[in-house]
A = this chain, B = another copy of it.
Amino acid sequence: MTSQHLLWPRGFSAAGVYSGIKTRPTADVGLLVCDTTAVGAAVFTTNKVCAAPVHVGRRHVASGRLRGVVNSGNANACTGKQGQADALEMCRLTADRIGCRPSEILPSSTGIIGHHLPMPKIRRGIAAAAAALGRTAHHAMLFCDAILTTDTCRKCAAAEVKIGGKTVRIAGVCKGSGMIGPRLDSNHATLLAYLTTDAQVTAPDLRELLMSASDHSFNAVTVCILASGQSGADLHAPAAARTFGAALEQVCQDLARQIAADGEGATKIVTIQVSGAKNEAAAKAIARAIANSPLVKCAMNGNDPNWGRIVSAAGMAGVPFDPQKCVLTLAGTVVFKSGQPVQFNAAAVSRTLNAKEVRVRLDCGLGRHATTVWTCDLSKQYVTINADYHT
């Protein structure tokens, strides 16, 4: 982890401690705390099956004021009233230690569904984490470790912009692996992201900026951002908000890319760039249909330039699409154009597909709207992980 970590924006401390919850001895209770009450915003899953911390989190962030975030345990989903009580107790314990109201704490957790939280361990963990809060890269790293579940690596990103002569920093960490698509994430409730910034911003503005950035990167169970205001740079002016929004989007997209790269069993990251779509919704639906197609993902795993699966997935997106007008480029080679296959060297393209990063570009030829999503291939290892991960 470089100097550009989660605590790089001014005004935050963090901790991650091991409390015997995870089977391997790595941090499993994480706290992220702002020095003073921060402006907070969060975007939550649209899944109708919400975990208890999502219900509690929605209520707590509604005021636009947060002091901190606590993460531990399993999904705490489908756990009834006990689950709600446990999520609330996590907030109360944290608030007691750092000196704020329980409603200023956002709880969050992921993992297996339908199991109650191991509260004795979590109680001990929150006490230990509160005592271990600090401001160094090491503290940021321990928080990052605490939120991970099946991830094979940490995911961190940061950006810095000048606003009104002042330096504003944004940083983020996230956890989540698995089949990544703008909806599959939420579907399977594995993605959490935490962002910090020292910008000065109102809660409604921050929420709008966060919604836009996450809309252009990933949908998570919970994405939250805390703004300490300590940069002194105000985002009220539209130009300032735009500058900040672009940087925030860049941080979120960087995180989304890292999640795709760490997809369960993934051997490569696939960037799907859709352009020329009739409208923004169509661009997204087409990109999503391609990114989530098991057949496309298998072809990527086999380095197979099977472009028919990509065009067919686009055709099934339920939005305007015309194969006569689209141009499909696979790792730099045009393979389909004007409704006709294009002659290309399949062996050579297959060799280009045999890479850690592959780019699929589909220009729809119907309009001016574009989007990018990141996905990964579907490997035998994905099946091993998800067939053998027993409840």
Contacts and interface: CB of A to CB of B under 8 A. Distances in A.
A379 interface: yes
A320 B48 CA distance: 8
- Interface of chain A, main secondary structure: loop
B387 A304 contact: yes
Interface stretch (A96-104, A242-250, A335-343, A368-376): A335-343
B379 A187 contact: no
Contacts of A304: 387-391
Contact of A188 (B112, B309, B314, B383): B309
Interface stretch (A29-37, A117-125, A254-262, A294-302): A294-302
Interface in A315-331: 315-318, 320-323
A306 B183 contact: no
Contacts of A384: 380
25 contacts: A47-B312, A48-B314, A48-B315, A48-B317, A48-B320, A48-B321, A49-B311, A49-B315, A49-B321, A49-B323, A50-B315, A79-B341, A113-B311, A178-B295, A188-B309, A298-B387, A302-B387, A302-B388, A304-B390, A305-B391, A306-B389, A306-B391, A307-B391, A346-B391, A350-B390
A163 B346 CA distance: 57
Contacts of A309: 113, 188
Q: Which of A78, A298, A313 has the most chain B CB atoms inside 10 A of its CB?
A: A78
A115 interface: yes
